[in-house]
Structure 1
């Protein structure tokens, strides 16, 4: 049985439109990395089936194929925003081709264009659901693994990490089953974490960080409310964006808490036994999380690298025990002079890294200059000997550039510290 002329024409227009769109995609360096020819042909076949089903009013088949398309695009690591843009381009191209070629074929052009719009609204929504389902499958496993890691810990803050993960896990179950009625507490003032926020001293963080924690916590609950509204409306595009936002906020929230756990830890593995400051083992984890917090809040951070001048001569002239005492004294001055929110790491033998959140580079320079003078003026008594030492310091601030990492800032601070050494020592270079 031959196909109706209308269907033949629509197929022809779809094929031409799809090929036109794909030629543009394959020329785009941003998008071409996601596709090869075999994948495009597969997507074309499913996309065409969904489109033709919609034109024939088989909306269930549009939903089914859209869901499959969403899962495939997700598996190819294609951002949903890029997929959404391509769908909108495809609809535009099809409408344009139809206006050009269909007007002479006896089409009711206005009705057909309305149907195409309706099909693509449904297709975009179904593809969003395919993406969402794929996200949920992965996040379920990730959360289960995180829960396993905190299960046996007695650290106070880890209780709240666990509570939030359980809360998040229940929301995922609700989304998977499209429950309109929440299985979790949505009222921001009645959840368990709000009790912790009633007492700032429990968190033991600066007022600025406390305000950030509270703000993120409020946003998490507002986003959760939006999620259940989107479920009720079956608006999967909004639901997907709401869910991504929830996961982003949760990551920020958990980063704040887990950083605090790491900083409060007094395990030997994390504390340098000679100086009592943090050693390099937890440094990467803590600094990466702290830097993310600065990006979230759009607040400045600065890093200083401090090195004791001529330390080898001290060891050679007085011995290693005196050298150790010098390191301890310098560390003690650092701990007494800096804020509680500043993080101090023993970076190397006689070298310290200082992380200063919410601090502009020019302000960090002033702090380090005062510190340098304090160390220079300090008498270090070692038996019968009284020693004075100096330090060279490099200071660098974060640019908050999207591609910048903490290691980039440390490298720049290290170069400035070396410049201080090479240009006379006992100075701060910014």
Structure 2
């Protein structure tokens, strides 16, 4: 049966034929979940439609909803072309059928045009709609704002992309900065909503997927520039990963995060925080150090001055640690008078300098308790971590503990480390 006869007798069948062509003949280029997706896609480019009608081909980069980009020079859609001819030549005169046909063709053209331009904001909106349907009351408005303003590649994946790298950088920096700022605001405003982190994780996964698309598109044009932007994006990703990690930790009850006596992070947070920071260090290709710290002769302090003064000594040590550590570092109470410190993104020489500064600060200070001036020293065992390798956290801590044991046996009040040795899974 001809297209004209199908259109005259069954407009729905014609629509199915178009969609069948869309699915089967070109499914490697265009992936649509259902017919509604076609009608939801917005924006139309008359120039592409004209080129499509006149030249029976599309010469551009195609972006599919599966995140794959193809570069093609000749893609023809015979069914649509035949329908266009029918409509233009007014072969079908029945007003309703012509109107329906025109609408179908227009929707088809819009779908092709937007896929060709790499425009997929509709998928964002569909996600938001689905999210709201699942739990409308709990999804904050800011989530929608983040998603709708999140970077799309409408202005990036273009045939003249190679000549517009400055614009690409401007758009990329503007949108990613806004994205990070909104994530930070989201964290600040929703610290008590322990399940919200899952929504941010969804955003982050989509962000990385989109970034890969951009890198692939740039790679088609200029491999070196794509590599440069990939490195820039990696740095942005580190910051986002850090925010994701913070939100994950928010799931733990606030009251159990910190040691009641010293204010150091509790032992239960060692594994999740170390795992998170190792992932970030791996992305940024940074090293980190983990150390075990022990108060020398702490039993003597307790036996001589009492447990109240022993507690004061523990609090004093943590205060000294916090005065030396940076905002990106962590101190955990491991147990008794032992503490673990994580130094982030510091080369090993700088890390040793920080630990030495801490050792000296403790040695040159004293604690006043019940009329006594108590002086203490500490021993430190440091383990350098190569984040590019698979790491077993328990083994890292064990290595640091062994270095601490060596420091204790060699006279105390010292730092022992082995920079070269790396712990692998």
Q: TM range, normalised to the smaller chain?
A: 0.3 to 0.5
Kindly indicate which of the two structures has a greater share of residues assigned to helix. 1
TM norm structure 1: 0.47
